[in-house]
Amino acid sequence: MTTHYDFDLRPNEFTHWQLQVEGDIARLTMNVQETQGLRDDYVLKLNSYDLGVDMELAAAYQDLRFSHPEVRCVVLSGALDRVFCSGANIMMLRSSPHAFKVNFCKYTNETRLGIEDASAHSGIKTLAALNGTASGGGYELALAADHILLVDDRSSAVSFPELPLLGVLPGTGGLTRITDKRMVRRDLCDVFSTTAEGIKGKRATQWNLVDSVAPLSKFDEVVSSTSRELADSVPAVEAGQGIELDRLEPTFSDEGIAYEHVRVVFDPETRSAALTITLPDSAGPSTAEQAHAAGSAWWPLRAFRELDDALCHLRFEYLGVGTITLHTRGKAEVALAFDELLESGKDHWFVNEVRQFIKRTLKRVDLTARTLFAIADEGSCFVGTLLELALAADRIYLLNDPDHEVRMGVSAINGGPMPMSNGLTRLATRFLGTPSRVGEILAEPGVFDAERADELGLATSAPDIIDWEDELRLAVEERASFSPDGLTGMEANLRFAGPETMETRIFGRLSAWQNWIFQRPNAVGERGALQCYGTPNRPEFAFDRT
């Protein structure tokens, strides 16, 4: 029996976080309930977290963005005395399968990047008010904030104890953020990352590990003034405009997962799944105000929330699925109408939030460790925003046959609003060696046929109807015969051509370094550091450098 997690949470359902909204400032307090983890074989001591805690954190920011657009600052703090967060729960990591550990780190990374995205594109600043020690993943959470305030009580510190205590790395972007985001000197980073007890007080500010410190007697006062400054640094949004996000309520069966607009169908024989997004018959709202009135039922928001939810379930609950074929169904003109409103209404807070959510969901597609094949056949509509889905795939198969009408197309959305983690559009990444092709494609008049799409370089393969089914079948069967580990490594290397960014480095290092270290005996062997932590046993290392 497959366990299905509930990623579609609401604040009143939270177990581990307390969310309070007071005008334009929200307080999000971490109060992890020790015995209420997702499994019963570990205890969440000292505000340590598992996937369930992070699912609530992601849901809290999602709720603030859509239900409380008036919030300009979030104060992150801990409810325990002298403890902000002790990081990912070690016993949970020790007892979890390798694939879960890596997917857990990836989800946690995406959640923290979502916090940074809220600051950059939604005007929601975050103050990490560290009321106590923040170690490992707890400090990594603080690093996602705009300002880190540490209580100066002679005992509270920030630390990365993973290497000295566990034989692994700060797996949610920690090493990358202290070098790339906070620009801490390399030698100081080295000392910090090998000092299990961490760095306290003024020394932490001198090394730029935190932005400020405050004595316990003045901590609340400084939290209040700093959060006020952060809130005042961004434009205000009138209260009372938020929408309620309706429940997705997917239906799970042996055959697949079904939503209103998204469907996933499994093929156990080839270890694949067909994921189909279906457009409505008409575009509905024609103005930003009408889209806002439609709320969470507006197709671009509802469909991409369903896509995002499906991806999370596939990552954590269907590890045997190696290949996902991406399909679309609907009319090209409807897809273009949605995109026209997404572009013309971008200055409206609601439309902007939908755009930002679609962007983040497409990034989750990019970062999903599955083979992705886009299937453009009769009835498909890889146009505009949905073309981005095809461009996220490892290959695009295009039916090019005179007796079958297949359409693809572009919109303003393909020209910049949906960048990948490398900061480039998917078109620019695809045509890195021939950048003039990007302008040629964007200049196309909306929708074009399969022959033109093939000429423009949008197809990996464009067989006719005679060869169509055999070519798809062979491609999926071939993929099922390869090493999953080798495929993950190959795909992660090929998907992000061009410039490196903090984001690509975070996920590149996760896919390579942390993925590798998590499998090494020095970490997870019988006498590895992760296995020995919390026991009387000392780790035994193989000292060959590789």
Q: Taking the model in full, what pTM does it have?
A: 0.97
Q: What are phi and psi of 464, to 5 degrees?
A: -85, 180
In a domain, 238, yes or no: no
Does residue 534 lie within any of the structural domains?
A: no
Please write down the long-range contacts of 457-461, taking CB distance under 8 Å and 24 or more positions apart. 457/430, 457/431, 458/390, 458/396, 458/398, 458/408, 459/376, 459/396, 459/397, 459/398, 459/400, 460/395, 460/396, 460/397, 460/398, 461/395, 461/397, 461/398
Of 198, 232, 266, which residue sits at a domain end? 232
For residue 100, being part of any structural domain is answered with yes
Q: What is the pLDDT along the chain (546 residues), one digit of tens a residue?
A: 678 999 999 999 999 999 999 999 999 999 999 999 999 999 999 999 999 999 999 999 999 999 999 999 999 999 999 999 999 999 999 999 999 999 999 999 999 999 999 999 999 999 999 999 999 999 999 999 999 999 999 999 999 999 999 999 888 899 999 999 999 999 999 999 999 999 999 999 999 999 999 999 999 999 999 999 999 999 998 899 999 999 999 999 999 999 999 999 999 999 999 999 999 999 999 999 999 999 999 999 999 999 999 999 999 999 999 999 999 999 999 999 999 999 999 999 999 999 999 999 999 999 999 999 999 999 999 999 999 999 999 999 999 999 999 999 999 999 999 999 999 999 999 999 999 999 999 998 789 999 999 999 999 999 999 999 999 999 999 999 999 989 998 998 899 899 999 999 999 888 788 888 888 899 999 999 989 998 999 999 999 887
Look at residues 204, 232, 260 and tell me which one is the last residue of a structural domain: 232
The token pair at 106 is 């990836």
Instruction: Indicate the DSSP class of residue 401.
Output: B
pLDDT for the residue numbered 445: 78
User: What's the CATH number where 379 sits?
Assistant: 3.90.226.10
**Together in a domain, 451 and 324:** yes
Mark whether 296 and 157 lie in a shared domain.
no
Is 351 found in the same domain as 286? yes
Sequence-ordered list of residues with C-beta below 8 angstroms from that of 447, at least 6 positions apart, any chain: 332, 333, 336, 383, 407, 408, 409
Give the structural domain span for 23.
11-232
Rounded Cα gap, residues 95 and 64, in angstroms: 34
Q: Is residue 219 part of a domain?
A: yes
Could you give the angle at which helices 332-344 and 349-366 cross, rounded to 10 degrees?
Answer: 120
34 and 62 together in one domain:
yes
Indicate the residue among 232, 266, 297 that finishes a domain: 232
| CA count, 13 A, side-chain hemisphere, 464 | 4
Q: Do 261 and 212 belong together in one domain?
A: no
Q: What residues pair up with 374 in beta bridges, in sequence order? A: 326, 396
Q: Which amino acid is at 333?
A: E
Same domain, 172 and 261: no
- Judge if 215 and 301 occupy the same domain: no
Residues 263 and 295 in one domain: yes
With respect to residue 520, please indicate whether it lies within any of the assigned structural domains: no
Instruction: Please report whether residue 474 resides in a domain.
Output: yes
User: Do 207 and 261 reside in the same domain of the chain?
Assistant: no
| Residue 517 resides in a domain | no
- Residues 196, 255, single domain; the answer is no
Distance between CA 520 and CA 514 in Å, rounded? 10
C-alpha pair distances (Å), 95 with each of 41, 101, 510: 8, 9, 20
Identify whether residues 186 and 275 lie together within a single domain: no
Number of domains, the chain: 2
Which residue, 206, 89, 71, is CA-closest to 127? 71
Tell me if 477 is assigned to some domain: yes
Give yes or no: residues 119 and 255 share one domain.
no
What is the average pLDDT score of the chain? 96
Task: List 515's β-bridge partners, or say none.
Answer: none
